[in-house]
Structure 1
Amino acid sequence: MAVAVAAVLAAATVAHPASAAARRDPVRVTRFLGEQRLPHLARLDGTAVGGLSGIDHDPRTGTWYFISDDRWRYNPARFYTGRLDIDRATGQFGGVRLTGVTTLTRADGTPYPGYGKPGSADPESIRFDRWSGRLLWGDEGDRPDDRNPGIPVSQAAVRSMDRQGRHLGAFPLPRGLRLTEAPRGPRRNFGFEGLAVTPRAVTAVTEGPRFEDGPLPTAERGAPVRLTVWSRAGALRGQYAYPLDALPAAPVPPSGDADGGVSELLAVDEFRYLALERSWTQGVGYSARLYEFDLRGATNVLGRRSLAGGPAYRPVAKRLVLDLSRVAPPAQNYESLAWGPRLDDGECTLVVGSDDNFSQEEATRFLAFGATGCR
């Protein structure tokens, strides 16, 4: 396995020449530190562990945060705390342990309603804001579609909470990202999926294109998604287009299901980010790639109703960092991305996690890597 992973990392470095973003000390994955898994439907404090769709790390205490996208199939919306055992001297990834669970609550102090009910939440990302001590989380929201016409609209949001899960506030939602019952705005299950925080900004990304921005990606073509940037105080700063890859293969059979999008963001500095692109194709399985991109030079598209036509715009420039589909196969439903502790030799650690969808056919898996070019 170590030889195979080394070959993948070497190919990622050689096969993709540096872009404008890469000229600024690009992020490079240098080595694979190991893999750890959680048992299927493990129990902790009366809850079913699964659906972990976002992770983050408090570097001061070593605490890790894991948010579940369970929508009261088992328990109310919640996050877990725990530890990842990464040896600072050797980089060895030795284990993962959950130690506590916290229910997310609304402004009135009650848990969020379950799936299919008004005001339900779909937690997809969590960030520890080390500059304020608060937690931020991305709520994908919900809306009806052709397959689920009876689902009520529950607005997507970027919310803040304290470490006891208590609601502190929400960032203003751009008008074009409001979920509706009509074919406009974000599609169902393609709202806020990734979230990043820097000393000066908070950035969120929609998983897939809005109706007005064009069709979903296929094996023949990609699609644009929107990155929204706020100041840390919540003032809307701008919006940028991120170009999704085409799907890696057509579904089998051709009429089968397939989808792809950005499943997580991670800040490198004030302008550079990592994006985790993940797809699933019927008859093929999961695929995942890690990209670095830079907001500088991209067009602010906040005022544009559509990205499918009109004046030309420049999306963010992206560069492949690592094809995760080739690391520790088979690929899983990778949805989490976080910086871990810095190693004694100066390397950063990068952790990628998968959401098992509460399915015995999938896994809650964590992959750890050494990296350079990080903040």
Structure 2
Amino acid sequence: MSIKINRFFGVLLSCLIFVFGFYNLTVLADNRVFLDLKLQFLGEYQLTDTNYQNTLIGGFSGITYNPEKNLYYVISDDRANFSPARFYTLKIDINNEKINNITIENVTFLKDEKGENYLPNTSDTEAIAFSPRNTLFIASEGVFKTKTPPFINEYDLDGNFKSSVRIPDRYISKEEEKKGIENNLGFESLTIKANGIMDQDPFRLFTVTESALVQDVDLNNPETILRSRLMHYVINPFGDPVLVGEHLYPINSPSLGVFFNGVSDLLALPQEGYLLSLERTLGLRGYGAKIFQLVMANASDISTQKTLSENIDNITSIHKKLVLDLQKLGIKLDNLEGLTFGPRLADGSQTLIMISDNNFTKNDRQKNQFLLFKL
């Protein structure tokens, strides 16, 4: 009994330090500047396998790294139409600053709260993040035609449902109200920032909508489509996840010839209060992608803001800085949707891996593309 009590108070103290530490950082936000980050492109790899254990390979929409096992978990956005909702476990051989080989080690089917495979068109899993407690957080955009709401759930490494993260009602679509996530423009992103040293220490989870919510768009003002919402949760070892902040994320204005752009993924940096974001575009020149550095400091909390479709001069958005425009790499980009850190290279620098969603095309127009960078 005493061991359990001591653990409880130890965890409680960790939570208090965590929360108050966060707000102290916010107070010191005026001293924040962008980090001096550079991404060096090291090479491309294409996974040509089409089937694995009777599943159709494709729809790679998110990737996350397990450093202890040196394995990657990749989520497929198949709505259980080709094969059951699933993630793949990958081994990526990185040597001499290039990807030498990628092998699929396993496929894991996700189970719902009843312990059953998801029925067709009841999930659209787009993002995945490995947590300090050896679990996976997975986000689904929801499916409009079956009126299935979005979710952010926690699963064990065998795909079994463990818990859910409460999503505010303003993100849930209802026919009688003009609100919620737009069709297929929901939670494409998910990242975790962990500071603790024990698996029961609290950690943070971030997600941002791919595009603006329905209530945040004024059809007479196209600029409002670029106003996404980023949510910041604290995940505790006891109790429900707590939404501690919601912020305006300004999507980059499209260049000439681009007819779609949105946020595909987030990645928390080791430095406190900094993230990377991946914005993916589609236009007359094909696919494009940009990596931005984000600074959370001083961003206004918009959790009580019913709409962003009006004047937002009183709102301080997340600060952004372009790190890399991938269209300048000199390679043909595919539908890039996910990014994660990998192992460190021999020189101590950090690797970063990006993946593409081939949309389950049956020809060579789209591929399962992996891009390797040095940060």
- The TM-score bracket by the shorter chain reads 0.7 to 0.9
Distance (whole Å) between structure 2 residues aligned to residue 301 and residue 44 of structure 1 = 44
Counterpart of 2:10 in structure 1 is none
Question: Secondary structure of 1:121's match?
Answer: coil
- Kindly provide the amino acid, as one letter, of the partner of residue 87 in structure 2: F
Counterpart of 2:291 in structure 1 is 290
Counterpart of 2:153 in structure 1 is 159
- C-alpha deviation, 1:219, in angstroms: 9.0
- C-alpha deviation, 1:176, in angstroms: 1.2
Counterpart of 2:24 in structure 1 is none
Counterpart of 2:234 in structure 1 is 231
- The CA RMSD measured in Å over matched residues stands at 2.1
Distance (whole Å) between structure 1 residues aligned to residue 86 and residue 185 of structure 2 = 21
Gaps spanning 5+ residues in structure 1: where?
Answer: 1-19, 144-150, 252-257
Counterpart of 2:301 in structure 1 is 300
- C-alpha deviation, 1:126, in angstroms: 0.8
Counterpart of 1:53 in structure 2 is 61
Q: Can you list the C-alpha shifts for 1:235-264, whole angstroms capped at 9, x where unaligned?
A: 11110011001222336xxxxxx3221000
| CA shift in 2, pair 1:73/1:327, >3 Å | farther
Contact preservation (8 Å) 2:139, 2:188: yes
Contact preservation (8 Å) 1:142, 1:189: yes
Counterpart of 2:261 in structure 1 is 260
Q: Alignment length, in residue pairs?
A: 329
Q: Can you list the C-alpha shifts for 1:170-194, whole angstroms capped at 9, x where unaligned?
A: 1111121112234321110111110
Contact preservation (8 Å) 2:65, 2:130: yes
Q: Can you list the C-alpha shifts for 1:48-107, whole angstroms capped at 9, x where unaligned?
A: 1000101111111101111100112210110000111112xx322212111110001101
Contact preservation (8 Å) 1:262, 1:275: yes
Which structure is richer in relative contact order (CA contacts within 8 A, separation 6 or more)?
Answer: 1
Counterpart of 1:72 in structure 2 is 80
Distance (whole Å) between structure 1 residues aligned to residue 219 and residue 79 of structure 2 = 25
After superposition, residues 1-375 of structure 1 pair within 5 angstroms as 23=33, 25-29=35-39, 31-39=40-48, 42-87=50-95, 90-115=96-121, 120-129=122-131, 131-143=132-144, 151-181=145-175, 182-199=177-194, 200-214=203-217, 223-233=226-236, 234-250=241-257, 258-269=259-270, 270-281=272-283, 283-310=284-311, 312-359=314-361, 360=363, 361-371=365-375
Contact preservation (8 Å) 1:156, 1:179: no
Counterpart of 1:5 in structure 2 is none
| CA shift in 2, pair 1:22/1:236, >3 Å | closer
Distance (whole Å) between structure 2 residues aligned to residue 217 and residue 352 of structure 1 = 35
| CA shift in 2, pair 1:216/1:91, >3 Å | farther
Structure (1 or 2) with the greater helix fraction: 2
Distance (whole Å) between structure 2 residues aligned to residue 300 and residue 219 of structure 1 = 23
| CA shift in 2, pair 1:80/1:215, >3 Å | farther
Distance (whole Å) between structure 2 residues aligned to residue 363 and residue 21 of structure 1 = 43
Contact preservation (8 Å) 2:246, 2:303: yes
- C-alpha deviation, 1:351, in angstroms: 0.4
- Kindly provide the amino acid, as one letter, of the partner of residue 123 in structure 1: T
Distance (whole Å) between structure 2 residues aligned to residue 280 and residue 288 of structure 1 = 9
Contact preservation (8 Å) 2:47, 2:369: yes
- C-alpha deviation, 1:287, in angstroms: 1.4
Contact preservation (8 Å) 1:264, 1:337: yes
- Kindly provide the amino acid, as one letter, of the partner of residue 333 in structure 1: N
Distance (whole Å) between structure 1 residues aligned to residue 311 and residue 326 of structure 2 = 35
Q: Can you list the C-alpha shifts for 1:255-279, whole angstroms capped at 9, x where unaligned?
A: xxx3221000000034111100012
Distance (whole Å) between structure 2 residues aligned to residue 216 and residue 77 of structure 1 = 35
Contact preservation (8 Å) 1:22, 1:319: no
- C-alpha deviation, 1:160, in angstroms: 0.3
| CA shift in 2, pair 1:351/1:124, >3 Å | same
Contact preservation (8 Å) 1:219, 1:246: no
| CA shift in 2, pair 1:216/1:196, >3 Å | farther
Moved more, 186-195 or 171-180: 171-180
- Kindly provide the amino acid, as one letter, of the partner of residue 152 in structure 1: T
Distance (whole Å) between structure 1 residues aligned to residue 114 and residue 129 of structure 2 = 23
Distance (whole Å) between structure 1 residues aligned to residue 307 and residue 295 of structure 2 = 22
Contact preservation (8 Å) 1:140, 1:189: yes
Q: Can you list the C-alpha shifts for 1:271-298, whole angstroms capped at 9, x where unaligned?
A: 11110001212x3321110001011111
Distance (whole Å) between structure 2 residues aligned to residue 99 and residue 215 of structure 1 = 47
Distance (whole Å) between structure 1 residues aligned to residue 279 and residue 371 of structure 2 = 16
